[in-house]
Structures are given as structure tokens and as C-alpha cells.
Amino acid sequence: MIHKIKSMYDNGQGLSIRAISRELNISRNTMKKYLAMDAQGICVMMEDTSREKWLDGYRDYLINQLKDYPKLSAVKLMRRLCRKVGKLPISERSMRRYVQNLKAEVAVGQYRYYEPIIETVPGVQCQVDPGELRGVLINGKPHTVYFVAFVLSYSRLMYVGLSLQP
């Protein structure tokens, strides 16, 4: 990325800092920092991938809290951590991002369990789910499409019926 920025800037002969930052969606201050670095500084920075986050010290605590309470929000986790540690030097948004990544890694919560129903006779039992889709374009105009889905319990065959009226 840094080499791409330097090639686009080309020692002031190429694009401006503002144009590059707009194109790559990077702040201008970061652009200036990268342009001021020499090749050796860039290599050192790219080799050091051990970037540590402030919340990594409390990772085990957060994981235990999420295992005990899978529906716990990041804001409530932050309040609990504040009670334990005191004032935190991070923003609420940083905590939300960290918890979101942590939930994706740990995959807390209950998984959906499926087991076929064997004791039923074919054609006797089915599951019915109604629903609607809004904003479906039909001949260039948005419409609401209503549907009902039938799933047979024994064979798991599905039938979906559609209508433009409820």
C-alpha cells in the first residue's frame, strides 16, 4: 500500500495528496506520514505485524463474559470492564469493533440444531411460513410480494406460493 502511494505521488510529479487520499480512502495525515518515510522505515513497519490492542489484556475476561452471556452487548461489556478496571482509554466505537471481531472468532451463542422427524407419516405434517418482500421491481415499479412457504416434515420438500395481494 505504501509503495502504491509513493508511486501515485511520484515526488510531487503525480497526483496530489488530497487526490490520492480520496482515491484510496485514507486520511491525508496518514498519507503525509507514509510519504515522509524512507524505504528502510517502510520495511521495518511492514515486518512488525505484532500490533497489540489495548483490550488484548482483557481478552480472556471478555471471552468468559460472552460465554456466560452470549447476548451481552458491547456497551454493557464496556460498563462491566469499567467497573472492574476503572476509566478506559478507548472509545465506545473501538469497544464495539473489538467485541464484534471477538464474537466472530469465538462464535458464542447457540447453534441451530436440526433433526429430521422420522415418526411422522409422509404427507401428514408440514411447516408453514408466511412472509413478504418489499420493493421488488415488476415492470420497473416497486411492489410488495407476499409469499407462503410450505415444507413437508417427512421429505423436506418445499412449495412456495406467491401473490401481489396479502
Per-residue pLDDT of the chain (166 residues; tens, 9 = 90+): 677 777 787 776 778 888 888 888 888 887 788 888 877 776 777 676 666 788 888 889 898 888 888 888 899 999 999 998 888 888 889 899 999 888 877 765 556 666 666 666 777 888 899 999 998 898 999 999 999 999 888 788 899 999 999 8
Residue 162's pLDDT is what?
Answer: 93
Name the pTM for this structure. Answer: 0.42
Q: Which long-range contacts does 148-156 make (Cβ < 8 Å, 24+ apart)?
A: 150/126, 151/126, 151/127, 152/122, 152/123, 152/125, 152/126, 153/117, 153/120, 153/124, 153/125, 153/126, 153/127, 154/117, 154/120, 154/121, 154/122, 154/123, 154/124, 154/125, 155/122, 156/116
